[in-house]
Structure 1
């Protein structure tokens, strides 16, 4: 396989919420499994084609747990999930935790939240209407919706929820002082430890209580595992969903206003359009999930042998633009019927919260488009303020008019 035409240092600087850096297309065509230098020194392998990313996600020789072994590659400026989180484990440990979590995170429980999500959406839309126009869609809608839903799902008391925004921001930051990220993680952990103890003593109808009660034979989650699960779900359920919602609304209202109005008039078409938006709106700040894997032995992927001990990054944003899977991949086709995108991953580590994210996003987009068909950004796109140095691409604010 020929080498790419230019030196490559990962992460690439040319990616935005609208798509990955253009050099990903060249890598898919010329060198789909590329050895790249990484910011801060060292190297890794970057996998860019859809089929190869899926294959790597299914191959247990690409290990998440090995990332934490002594002597494993380290990468400055990239999020490192702490050891012990479900995203940091391999089978069989991961399989055990996943099976117990799925007992509590059932499709029936998630679907049962739909009326409450719609109630929250309606209340937040009333707040936007009272405030504006203009109004801030991040502070006034996306962030409070995502935070309230995940806190209610976990059973976090209302009076405690304001603490989490700061702690999650500290935890997710990758370019700030390391001690701040550690402080955010420790504060989340301490709070969750106290909450888990309360749920053990006085269980309620929430996921954290259900996780505490989950059993497979004699097996159950330990208190430490419950604490880690709690802040994992809180961070992912809040930050990722709020970010994806704001970016999706920006994409539709700034670049596809006709589709925005159409979805408000035809809510039955929102689910199909949402899958295309999940494929094309790039939430990942590094075009990957930010979670490297380490080859535990020499592994052939594509036409390349990745040596044992080397790190691999899987470029989800690039895989979602693979022209061999998605015809006209850079065009948003809101009627695209066959859409095997990897926004929620694939295989063992497929996102546990994907059904909840889809529910929140579809309810929110359909309701907003119906109530505010003329919604549009209130400032030029080059004046929007972005949060940098995080796991996810995020807007600090999204001023909107209607």
Structure 2
């Protein structure tokens, strides 16, 4: 096989992973790659092998924080101690406590709140539309994701403007580093105070439920509660906002027929959401960016990964695996068999996945129903993307809600 470019590969976008992944799945599904700072790692690309790896306790997240672990520049690595950074039994304990606050009944109970938020945001967007195109990233997808987090954490209404500002400042990868650090410290201090307030006066929110969670006499510490809050900010904030924006872009730019059909057939939206989750590539480097370390020699797909080596799992590649998905590079919005790995698999499967589905479904239902003639306000190729971000993240998504007035 030809020599591979440096990992992460440069040919990925929201439309899908770099084409090199197709060759890797066929010819070299477990491959040794070199990263930008010269550190080698293993890359796993097939759906079946990634599921196997996610179930293997010998591939450790916690070991990636050891002093001797391979280091990677320019790739996201969650802080140690967070739920996505732990192995069993620490992860088992933390997840067993956290899952008590994410019951199916509680998450489904968020649907009316999400619909109310979408209605409020689109009401304001409708007023702005009278003056020209609306930036749906700033008017809907970003505020919706952040407002849902505020609902989850029980952030009082009077604090939400400040809270939103700190989140935006903290997440701005292109902004001044000292401002990002200051925002992180303000967020941490605020969440610590919020935990104390909810401990004294519980509310009908996920943070209060997390505080109340018990395993016998065991409970989440203040530090663990703050860590879970940060996890919600990352997964429920930037990721949800970007996934929704990129999905709307995909529909408006390439699948206007589907946009029109969904507006009149909301019963088809759940299947469309699953296909958007599978086919619209959220991940900037086609993996979660979170390395795992082999704690002993491991054989996967006939390749032995030596103990101490780092492993990356290419979820975006798994979602295009022809051994699992018929015609994998085509978005099929009626696809019935769709075991995508966009929310992971196994012990680390995303707790917030069901809520992300609700946000996507409600927003797409309301957008397609209200604005059947919506169009991009600029050619797709002129849209700007945030560089160096964890996710494929648009800078703005300008849309004519009622069609192009110049047409």
TM over 0.5: yes
1:2-401 equivalences under 5 Å are 4-132=1-129, 133-169=132-168, 171-172=170-171, 182-401=181-400
- What is the CA-CA distance between 1:164 and the residue it aligns to? 4.1
CA distance in structure 2 between the aligned counterparts of 1:176 and 1:34, rounded to whole angstroms:
35
Q: Do the aligned partners of 1:173 and 1:391 also contact (CA within 8 Å) in 2? A: no
How many residues were matched structurally? 399
- What is the CA-CA distance between 1:327 and the residue it aligns to? 1.2
1:25–1:178 CA distance, 2 compared to 1 (3 A):
farther
State the Cα deviation string for residues 179-232 of structure 1 (Å, max 9, x = none).
665444333222211111111111111111111111111110011111111121
State the Cα deviation string for residues 292-341 of structure 1 (Å, max 9, x = none).
11111111111111111111000000000001111111001111110000
Q: Do the aligned partners of 1:379 and 1:399 also contact (CA within 8 Å) in 2? A: yes
RMSD of aligned residue pairs (Cα, Å): 1.5
Q: TM-score, normalised by structure 1?
A: 0.96
1:165–1:391 CA distance, 2 compared to 1 (3 A):
farther
CA distance in structure 2 between the aligned counterparts of 1:296 and 1:197, rounded to whole angstroms:
39
Q: TM-score, normalised by structure 2?
A: 0.95
- 3-state secondary structure, aligned to 1:44: strand
State the Cα deviation string for residues 257-286 of structure 1 (Å, max 9, x = none).
000010010000000011011000000011
- What is the CA-CA distance between 1:372 and the residue it aligns to? 0.4
- What is the CA-CA distance between 1:161 and the residue it aligns to? 2.5
- What is the CA-CA distance between 1:118 and the residue it aligns to? 1.0
Which ranges in structure 1 are unaligned for 5 or more consecutive residues?
A: none
State the Cα deviation string for residues 106-133 of structure 1 (Å, max 9, x = none).
1111111111111111121221211114
Which ranges in structure 2 are unaligned for 5 or more consecutive residues?
A: 403-407
1:32–1:181 CA distance, 2 compared to 1 (3 A):
farther
1:239–1:372 CA distance, 2 compared to 1 (3 A):
same
- 3-state secondary structure, aligned to 2:123: helix
